[in-house]
Amino acid sequence: LASTFSLDLVDWWMFVIDVAQGDDIPRKRGPGILQCDLLVINKTDLAPYVGVDAESILAEATAVRGGRATIACQCRGDSGNAGLRAVAAVIGEDVLFRKAEAAS
């Protein structure tokens, strides 16, 4: 997974992977994993069907990102859409409200 754009062109960067891509994605330590502001690990409900451990993907991604936001989620069957709400909260806090504070 390679990023093909200049980081100078973005103010804030969200990178989305899914568990079906394999549990080695965080281990590869690509620029998307290491440098994005928010890493979303999606489709965690598919983990048992593709033979990966979603918890180990989340743990490894969290460890290599140096404290930056990492959220695991699923859109289907997620009771209350907790993962999607967490993504929206991070975007709201980091992007929307930060820019509003900077403007005032």
Question: Residue 74's domain is classified under what CATH number?
Answer: 3.40.50.300
End-to-end Cα spacing for the chain:
38
Q: What global pTM score does this model have?
A: 0.82
Percentage of residues in the chain having pLDDT higher than 70: 86
- Whether residue 39 is predicted with pLDDT greater than 90 in this model: the reply is yes
Domain that residue 27 falls in: 7-103
Residue 2 lies in a domain: no
Total domains, the chain: 1
Does residue 77 lie within any of the structural domains? yes
pLDDT at residue 80 is higher than 60? no
What tokens does 82 get? 């907790």
**DSSP states along 33-78:** HHH-SEEEEE-GGGHHHHT--HHHHHHHHHHHTTT-EEEE--SSS-
pLDDT digits (tens, 9 = 90+) for 19-31: 999 888 888 888 8
